[in-house]
Amino acid sequence: MANTPKESTFPLLVQQDGAVITITINDAPWNRMSLEFMNELEIWVEKLAEDTSVRAVVITSAGEENFSVGMHLKQLAGSVKTRGDMEAILDQRLRVLAAIENMEKPWVVTLFGYCLGGGLELPLACHFRLAAAEGAKIGLPELDIGAIPAWGGTARLTRCVGRMHALDMILRVKHISGPEAYRIGLVNEVWPNSELKRKAYELAKQLSEMPAGSVAGVLRCVVGAGERSLQESLYEERQAVLRNRGSKDQMEGMMAFIEKRKPRFNRE
């Protein structure tokens, strides 16, 4: 993959730096998730799942105003005619978010400004969420237009913060701040706005330097744990351990520990 942004400046930009890919929603200041954006994102998600040179992904947005106000509502009527029905549109969005959530490499997302509707549902499918210390407005405001979150928001938000906070946010149409999101467990970290994108990249780089096989195993175990019984989760963990046993990275980690040095993972 190229180390420079792709030629198209719409609807997203993709840039690779070593083992880290940064995807930028390129529709400032609102960064709406248009049909074109979702089509491109689906293509890239499929590519990234197979690309072994990429070990971590950052998803952020152009500008400093907003991460995303969600779906491009003005496209809705025309898009239903193009796609045949609303279910086809929703199916694609659910499919893309599920592919991100179940990818065996971590995704890091930045939340700043408006993160509403799909602008929260996409981050909920990511593995690490970093929020701005000031100005973030995070929520699922679908009830304001007589609708219901439709990209997995009710399910993923409940699993993330629990039923009490999920109902409070959705039914009262709350827009919460970055610090409040951290308090209820919705985001991993809060950073000054000026540092947020840099911190997201630094986290992705740190994750990309971990042993890729072990990271994949942990993601398989943890992401699906909520859908399995304890015994099933323990079995999945054992299978991950067995798959990883004797790998180059495991041997390197053990030798580095014995030799009292920093391990050098992901070498051919």
Active site residues: 121, 142
Rounded Cα distance between 22 and 169, Å, is: 29
Q: Within 10 Å of residue 182's Cβ, how many Cβ atoms?
A: 18
Joined together, the tokens standing for residue 193 give 């706005």
Contacts for 71 with CB less than 8 Å, ≥ 6 apart:
32, 33, 117, 118
Rounded Cα distance between 175 and 53, Å, is: 38
The answer to whether the CB of 117 falls within 8 A of the CB of 97 is no
Residue 27's H or E segment, with its range, is none
Rounded Cα distance between 143 and 149, Å, is: 8
Q: CA 169: distance to chain centroid?
A: 20
* DSSP character string of 133-159: SSS-EEE--GGGGT----SSHHHHHHH
Rounded Cα distance between 184 and 190, Å, is: 12
User: What single DSSP character describes residue 133?
Assistant: S
Maximum distance among all alpha carbons in the chain?
A: 64
Contacts for 242 with CB less than 8 Å, ≥ 6 apart:
none
* 262: phi then psi, degrees, rounded to nearest 5: -75, 130
Q: Are strands 137-139 and 114-116 parallel, antiparallel or unpaired?
A: parallel
